[in-house]
Amino acid sequence: MKLRNLLACGVALLATCVLPPTALAQDYPNRPVKVVVGYAPGGGTDIFARLIAERMGRALGQTMVVENKAGANGNIAAEQVGKGPADGYNLLFVVNTHVTNVFMYTRLAYDPIKDFSPVGLVVATPLLLVANPAFPPNSLPELLAFAKANPGKATFATPGMGSPAHLTIEMLKAGAGVDIQVIHYKGAGPAQSDVMAGHVHMQIPTLAQALPQAKASKIKLLAQTGLARSAQVPDLPTIAEQGLPGFQSDIWFALLAPAATPPAVVARLNRALNEVLAQPETIAKLREMGGDPIGGAAEQAVKVMRDDQAKWQKVIKDVGIKPE
């Protein structure tokens, strides 16, 4: 009897193993899905991740739990997810620094493109150059004049080495020929806290992170980094308008799964993501936060990731940033 039961179990297991991915994904998800964010709570990546996770969870009929794994500009989180289970319950929410880290670190334990299967692009947003209210400059020209008169005295907080904010300020420094001291933090939240406290002069956060604090007069806005002004801050000039023509630094966020995740599961997640991004209330909320929903096919995300990697590789080389 015992042998017969064991054989029956073995046959059942074998049947499960040979089922096509579509069949295996039919009951997906049947437990909570984890979404890992490589930055501390409170930053732009975390804010967007929590909004999308909550709404995708509703679309999927399961809870999506956000877990913050800050450190090494997202590398720790990416390695954890990339080497973790490829079953659809282990996802990574990234900002475009994910594809540039390969140029910022001498060794990575993963390939940012080959080791992941994109669920899809989520949202794009410009960045804002902000400062502590007590910092004398009130515009980009005033900041550049201050920096030229006081080399190395102006300080700037980044969410981490190689982050979009870091690369943007380095591009600004090189384009304007100024010396600004750069200080790296483990996330945009801690960086903003020190800017508001007056320990550091400036920061370049996302619109989502900056606007509430600006409205509360805890920071002031100096410029925005997009080529065109955002509808959320139409009176704030761009860096390009204030003396550096052509200057542009927009960022995107994406949801990824480990490369070996069954295609049917990735497709299910992609459908849920696009469903959420098409909802009027989600669109309104994202735009209120300064973001524009993207969505689309997973293949589109691969192209954007490769193109952005090439763009920032040139910037990193031109400004002379050396990998750690």
Cβ contact 35:256 at 8 Å: no
Structure tokens at 248: 């542009």
The residue with greater pLDDT, 11 or 294, is 294
Domains: count for the chain:
2
Asked if the structure places residue 284 within a domain, the reply is yes
Residue 216 sits in a domain whose CATH number is 3.40.190.10
Residue 232: pLDDT above 80? yes
What are the DSSP calls for 13-69, one per residue? HHHHHHS-HHHHTTT--SS-EEEEESS-TTSHHHHHHHHHHHHHHHHHTS-EEEEE-
Asked if the structure places residue 105 within a domain, the reply is yes
Q: 3-class SS at 222? A: strand
Average pLDDT over residues 156-176: 91
* Per-residue CA distances from 72 to 25, 107, 307 (Å): 34, 12, 23
The residue with greater pLDDT, 16 or 240, is 240
Average pLDDT over residues 37-65: 94
Asked if the structure places residue 175 within a domain, the reply is yes
The structure tokens 């900041």 sit at 143
Average pLDDT over residues 237-249: 94
What domain range includes position 283? Answer: 30-125+251-319
Average pLDDT over residues 297-316: 92
The structure tokens 């900002």 sit at 95
Residue 48: pLDDT above 80? yes
Asked if the structure places residue 25 within a domain, the reply is no
Asked if the structure places residue 24 within a domain, the reply is no
Q: Over pLDDT 90: what percentage of the chain?
A: 71
Residue 126: pLDDT band with limits 50, 70, 90: confident
Q: Are residue 43 and residue 121 in the same domain, yes or no?
A: yes
Domain end residue (candidates: 202, 224, 242) = 242
Q: Are residue 138 and residue 237 in the same domain, yes or no?
A: yes
The residue with greater pLDDT, 305 or 21, is 305
Residue 73 sits in a domain whose CATH number is 3.40.190.150
Asked if the structure places residue 40 within a domain, the reply is yes
Question: How are beta strands 116-126 and 181-184 bridged, if at all?
Answer: unpaired
What are the DSSP calls for 286-303, one per residue? HHHTT-EE----HHHHHH
Q: Are residue 160 and residue 226 in the same domain, yes or no?
A: yes
What are the DSSP calls for 84-102, one per residue? S--SSSEEEEEETHHHHHH
Q: Are residue 111 and residue 256 in the same domain, yes or no?
A: yes
Nearest of 187, 124, 177 to residue 148 by alpha carbon: 177
Q: Are residue 88 and residue 170 in the same domain, yes or no?
A: no
Asked if the structure places residue 9 within a domain, the reply is no
Q: Are residue 191 and residue 255 in the same domain, yes or no?
A: no
